[in-house]
Amino acid sequence: MRLLEYQSKRLLKKYGTPVPDGKIVANPSDAKQFMEMAKSDCMLKAQVLTAGRSKSGGIKLIKSVDEIEPALSEMLKIKFENFPVNLTLIEKAVNYKDVFKLSLFIDPVSAKPIIELTYLVSSTEEYLNKHDQSKNIETAEINPEIGLLDYQVRHLEMALEAPREMWDQFRQIARDLWKMFCELDAVYLEINPLVLSSDNHLMALNVIIEIDDYALFRQSELAGLIDYAMYSSLEIETHKAGLSFIQLDGNIGCMANGAALAMSTVDLIYRKGKSPANFLDVGACVSAERLGVGFRLLIAEKNIESMVLNYYGLSTPCDEIAMEILKAWGEIGFTKPVFVLFSGLNSKKGVEILRRKKPFKAALFSNDFSI
Amino acid sequence: MGNLIDQSSKIIVQGITGQMGNHITRKMLLSDIKIVGGVSPFKGGEWALEGRVPVFETVRSAINATEANISVVIVPPAYAAEAIFEAINEGISLIICITNGIPIHDLVKIKMYLRGKRCRLLGPNSPGLCIPGQISLGILPHDQIIKGNIGVVSRSSTLALQIMDYLSKNGYGVSTFIGVGDAPVLGTNIEDVLRMFEEDTETEKILLVGEKGGIQEENAAKYFSQHMTKPLVAYLAGQSGLLDPYPLQEISTCQFEKTSIKEKIISLDKAGIRVASSLDEILSLLG
């Protein structure tokens, strides 16, 4: 689960890392009020989760109060990868001389936490001429039992010849970030850019925080930060039902019990030259009831003209699933064709139950089924 | 696979009194394996499954009473890491963790804790392992997989089962099935299983059922090209590429989702692993 910039900055602040003074605004008068009090240039930033905001007009430098109204109204109209802008963040602009990127993540190969510092831009020509691009990144592997050690931070600073004025502040920020990483069950933390201001203060101008979805049960405050406005009602409903759903572009609904089975079913539909509308995994050991919830949600979607259910009877046998979807048909009375592929426990029984029941076309799983 | 598990192995189930624990143990009891006890805090002294399996308070008391050396962990995500630490500490030699959804920070600590210990963890989110005709541990159906000479290793459960069904209908049997599970950090990697299959006398060919995301298959490909002699065929779920990182995943947050499926297939190809693009092709590639 990724947090919006302003949410991430609030957390950074809580953990002690400096961020620019700022305020969430959705209308020009709030923004003007902030700028008048700030008495400085400001940055207006769209609060969306996608990358590359500045390229698409999501980040603007505002030099006078008059610029606010047109800039804000324009920004609120932009769609970033189909996500609307509901909120913007207005901040005091910062003059800076050195730019870094600081990130914390778990290395997939070693399964260890890694802290990575990148020197992006230097104010001194000297530095840029001395070093080639590939030598401006340093990492340190953190022992999760012991935590980030000060000497590791010094290694990063020395390797990149970071300005001495920032060393103490950087050590504190690195410690804050590591603490945050652990306490919030973060899978990814990135401060980019981390700038050294003209008056030698390190400050986080933008931060990305991604929280482990599987840890939300023990992060109740963070779980409450999910912005439901970003998701479609189908995404929200399937999520509530504990199902794993991804929207695609096509018109053939797709569901299966098991992530890889569901992916494979998307592939199957694609290989037959058709267009899958979605990915939906109801879980390998799903109950008939829960599968029924997913089924009813999917069949109701307007863009879906037909559906494929690929089910392997594991803990719930195929005949129980057949009864459940038959029940759904009894309730809703849809006419869209539903292709059911059964394998595993009681697969033959399942196929029998759906035989000659329009609109179902059930068969034992095989490579050639026609949809 | 005798050094991993055999029919004389004694098995306990951590989480036996939970709904999933009860259901899965019931299925496992249909086969010939020896489930000698269960572990459930605050329920020590009770009996599970209509008096068939004694429940112990701790892994230690279970081992003292039964000499068990293998544990199947079916404990909810919030408590699974603790159950695994307990099993490792008490000398269990093989842990099969069925639980799905353990937080990644817990997995990092578990992986670290396993170093230097004589304990193998399969999973988490593993469907189990099966030696047809002998042993079936986990959520696998005990009598559906036919014996043969193909070692099958998989991240998935139902897809692998559907494929093995398809194999058996066409006369191909399985020497051993091992489900490594599907989590960002696994106790046993695909390459570890390949090593086991290379040494296993019953296995002549290997089928790898992989999927998009993560780097398990790439690491396995590297291992294969450097150390293996037995032929390897792979089937990857997500080959269509339709599910490759979508807008919200774009930023490097998911380090585990960084490679595209096309890159994954190229890695396997380069290593000499034949990648099937359909179930029929799996059969023809296995020969």
**Residue range B110-169, pLDDT digits in tens:** 999 999 999 999 999 999 999 998 889 999 987 889 999 999 999 999 999 999 999 999
Strands (E) in chain A, as ranges, are 22-25, 42-46, 59-62, 79-80, 83-84, 88-92, 96-106, 113-121, 137-141, 186-197, 202-204, 207-211, 244-247, 252-256, 278-281, 306-313, 338-344, 360-364
Q: State how far the Cα of B252 lies from the Cα of B217, in Å rounded to an integer.
A: 20
Compare all CA atoms of chain A with the CA of B253 and give the residue at the minimum distance.
A188
Give A344's contacts in chain B (Cβ within 8 Å): 141, 144, 158, 161-162, 165
Q: State how far the Cα of A131 lies from the Cα of A352, in Å rounded to an integer.
A: 71
Least confident range from A166-175, A190-199, B32-41, B242-251: namely B242-251
In DSSP terms, B97 is beta-bridged to B73
Among all chains, which residue has been given the structure tokens 């719930």?
Answer: A316
For residue B121, the SS3 value is: strand
Which of A142, A210, A267, A291 should be substituted to probe chain B, the one whose Cβ sees the most B Cβ atoms within 10 Å?
A: A267
Compare all CA atoms of chain B with the CA of A219 and give the residue at the minimum distance.
B103
The whole-number pLDDT of residue A367 equals 66
| Banded pLDDT at B250 (limits 50, 70, 90) | very low
Instruction: Look at residues B278, B286, B280 and name the one whose alpha carbon lies nearest to residue B174.
Output: B286
ipTM surpassing 0.90, yes or no? yes
Question: Which tens digit of pLDDT belongs to each residue from B56-105?
Answer: 999 999 999 999 999 999 999 999 999 999 999 999 999 999 999 999 99
The whole-number pLDDT of residue B2 equals 72
Q: State how far the Cα of B88 lies from the Cα of B95, in Å rounded to an integer.
A: 8
Instruction: Name every residue whose Cβ is closer than 8 Å to that of residue B211 and which is 6 or more positions away in sequence.
Output: A259, A260, A263, B155, B156, B159, B182, B236, B237, B238
Determine, for residues B255 and A50 on separate chains, whether the beta-carbon distance falls below 8 Å.
Answer: no
The whole-number pLDDT of residue A274 equals 95
Question: Which tens digit of pLDDT belongs to each residue from B180-222?
Answer: 999 999 999 999 999 999 999 999 999 999 999 889 999 999 9
User: Which run of H or E residues covers position B129?
Assistant: strand B128-131
- From the CB of residue A368, how many other CB atoms can be counted at a distance below 10 Å? 7
User: Which run of H or E residues covers position B111?
Assistant: helix B104-114
How far does chain A reach from its first CA to its final CA, in angstroms?
Answer: 35
Q: State how far the Cα of A57 lies from the Cα of A153, in Å rounded to an integer.
A: 36
Give B238's contacts in chain A (Cβ within 8 Å): 260, 263-264, 266-267
Residues of chain A with pLDDT under 50: none
Determine, for residues B156 and A285 on separate chains, whether the beta-carbon distance falls below 8 Å.
Answer: no
> A185's torsion region: left (phi>0), alpha (psi -120 to 50) or beta?
left
User: Which run of H or E residues covers position B24?
Assistant: helix B19-28
Compare all CA atoms of chain A with the CA of B166 and give the residue at the minimum distance.
A366
Compare all CA atoms of chain B with the CA of A258 and give the residue at the minimum distance.
B158
Size of interface A-B (CB pairs under 8 A): 172
The whole-number pLDDT of residue A212 equals 93
Determine, for residues A108 and B255 on separate chains, whether the beta-carbon distance falls below 8 Å.
Answer: yes
Give B23's contacts in chain A (Cβ within 8 Å): 315
